Chain A
Amino acid sequence: MSNLHGIILGYNGDENLRELTEARTTASVPFCARYRIIDFLLSTLVNAGVDDIGIILQESYQSLLDHLGAGREWDLSRKNGGLKLLPPFSTGRNRGAGFAGGMDALLSVRSYIERIRKDYVFIARGNTIASFDLGAVLENHIYSGADVTAICVHESSELRSEIRLVFREDGFARDMLLGGDLGDGLVGTGMYIMSTKRLLALMDECAVSGEPSFSRALKSSIDRLKIMNYIVNDFIARPNSVAQYYRLSMKLLDAEVRASLFPKGRPVLTKLRDEAPTYYAPGAAARNCLVADGCYIEGEAENCIIFRGVKIAKGARVRGCILMQDTVVGEDTVLDGIITDKNVVIGKNRTFIGSPEYPTVIAKGTVL
């Protein structure tokens, strides 16, 4: 059992995933054929032995609630601790309005944070796709004597972030660059580890100063706090547009990326659907595809991400597509560069072509 408590900020930030987040938060956007984005972060926590996790919610969280349930699939349905979902509690300062920043969100659940029984907390945005050894980060944090460990990646990583951290020779942060002009430095993932006491003290300061942003709160305390970095080389990403979501999805066809997301001994857990295995009919063809269970494939698919329960009828040709749960592609239909959301039904003999720069999204439940 870990001495770490996870806090996930499960509401949307400023990313724009258009149709994909019309009825859900980014954290519950389907990803990688059988997962939701949040599964990776939750599994990272669970695989590090973390069994107390709180998820702060703000709006359109119904899909996330449905996905997480009591947390049983992540082994987080516990008598003590386990998964706690923290929907907005509109007696605070931001009645009805969205959170102005991470600190604002944390302050809205202050009484929850006061009751944390673990000595350390891990904070992350729920829209982060991340699979790494969090136990090693905690160990390093305790050993280093730092006040805060900022989990960072190199500039070459897939992560698009507005945070850069500049470090002194002694290893502690000298400056944080936020948004706008980004200089040299390590890319901040927005994931931090600190002691629960330190977090509460920081929250108290912000409650007085009115600072709603977690990053700005850290930046303004940079002279007082020892902020260390921990560089993660595993796949970490955060889709902030449909084009980037598409690009990241296609990256999954790369064996090295999959090896980084699904290392041995660190399974990624998700809600089960009890689907039958996928059936490939005589004459079916799948090349360079990632396919979940419960599919029925009679046609051809190339370079595709195919979610659970998808049907591709005879003569259909699907290329460079992301077909989410229960999509039906009719006979002789041609799809290229298309993202279909859940339960999309496309009839016979249709042709839809999108482009990787601006992939066409067919919204949830559309029948064409």
Chain B
Amino acid sequence: MIHGKECIAMILAGGQGSRLYVLTTKVAKPAVPFGGKYRIIDFPLSNCANSDIDTVGILTQYRPQKLNEYVGSGQPWDLDRMYGGVRLLPPYMTGSTGMWYKGTANAIYQNMDFIEQYDPEYVLILGGDHIYRMDYSKMIARHRDAGAAATIAVIEVGWDEAPRFGIMNVDEEDRIVEFEEKPKNPRSNLASMGIYVFTWEKLRRYLVEDEAKPDSSNDFGSDVIPAMIAAGEKLVVHRFDGYWKDVGTIDSLWDANMDMLANPMLDVFGADWKVYTRSPAAPPHFVGTEGEISHSIVTEGCEIYGKVENSVLFSNVTVGKGAVVRYSTIMPGAVIEPGALVEYAIVAEEATIATGAHVGGDPINTDPDKWGIAVVAERVRVGKNREVAPKLMIVRDMEDADAEPMYAAEEISGEGLDE
């Protein structure tokens, strides 16, 4: 067995993802279900597997239990290796001290020993909150060929969107001359994707220096990268032009799920680049005599007796007779009882929408200021004949109502939004 690895990957998976509100009260953002049978972290993990990177550290901090359980030995991503493989790296104590990860750079700093044991040439830093398929080996080749200290993956975004991103200003050879975080007046539309390749020797030096600065926020974007540029290191961009989407908010999570239907936007249906996941052992899905499914994805364990259109259904979802699911994402094990209507909504794991209930609303029939994606949290039951207006987040059970729907807007609105 060859000792040492050319490149190892570190996935920053410690963030809470607080803008996903009720979807991340119990799990870290990378463990949030996505795209019918995946969880967000399947994308960077599968990218690693498909790019021949067999050693991956996952830095966890916020509610790591489900993520630990999910990643396990790493076998679904072919990352159960004799030497290398996947490792979960929570913060730890050292002697009498020890601390939480203060920032992205500090998280890597605290795991320098882990990295050193593989003696890597390069270290790939990834986030755990984006949906994309990327061949990292091309980016590493670009880094190697350019002889760079750091290579940052960028994607061209619309000029109007640029002020929301970290923007790279580059010269004619794609060398980074300046990094601007959320510039008001952007001079470039190359947005950082939060994917970095570093030459480990260089990165180690800058991490140690950054750690010694008492006023540093120990963050790659705001501290380490600017310090490297200022010191005259060679930093280049790697241009990516595929599908890439941040799923940090309810709206973007819903959007990205809907994008799954716009094949080949995100071609997980392709055979040559599979997205791997830990599968539940569920039987094939069943469509009843009166079931109707159109422009939707459905996976194992589902039982469809009603109507499903423009939706993403996860495993073991039941849609009862006469129920309608439109433009929605229904997470594993949720039950849509007969006669319920769910539209423009995210229904989280094992939630129940009882008979006659109506969740969400069509933007056409709603005042644009009041419209948004409705969310029903994990294991919550929306009682019979209850109405959940657009944009609401339901965090606890709603009792059954009489046949006349009761509008629950006032009593529920805003719950779960406090962090």
Contacts and interface: CB of A to CB of B under 8 A. Distances in A.
Interface of A: 32-34, 72, 253, 255, 258, 261-262, 267-270, 272, 274, 276-294, 296, 306
Of listed A72, A283, A293, residue having the most chain B CB within 10 A: A293
Nearest to B288: A288
A262 B302 CA distance: 13
Categorize the interface residue count of chain B: 35 or more
A267 B282 contact: yes
Contact of A279 (B263, B279, B280): B263
Contacts of B277: 274
Contacts of B37: 276-277, 293
A274 B274 contact: yes
Interface in B1-45: 35-37
Contacts of B313: 277
A18 to B, nearest CB: 24
Contacts of A290: 283-286
Contacts of A270: 281
Given A267-B282, A284-B293, A292 B276 contact: no
Contacts of B291: 286-287
Contact of A284 (B284, B288, B294): B294
Interface string B259-293: 00101000011000011110111111111111111
16 contacts: A34-B283, A261-B283, A274-B279, A277-B36, A277-B298, A278-B299, A282-B294, A287-B287, A287-B289, A288-B288, A290-B283, A290-B285, A291-B284, A291-B285, A291-B287, A292-B285
Contacts of A272: 76, 279
B310 to A, nearest CB: 9
Given A278-B299, A282-B294, A269 B281 contact: yes
B295 interface: yes
B286 A279 contact: no
Contacts, number: 98
B284 A279 contact: no
B297 interface: yes
Contacts of B60: none
Contacts of B279: 272, 274
Say whether chain A's binding surface is mostly helix, strand, loop, or mixed: loop
A211 B35 CA distance: 58
Nearest to A253: B286
Contacts of A289: 286-287
Nearest to A73: B281
Contacts of B312: 277
A286 B284 contact: no
Contact of B284 (A33, A283, A296): A33
A20 to B, nearest CB: 19
B296 interface: yes
Nearest to B284: A33
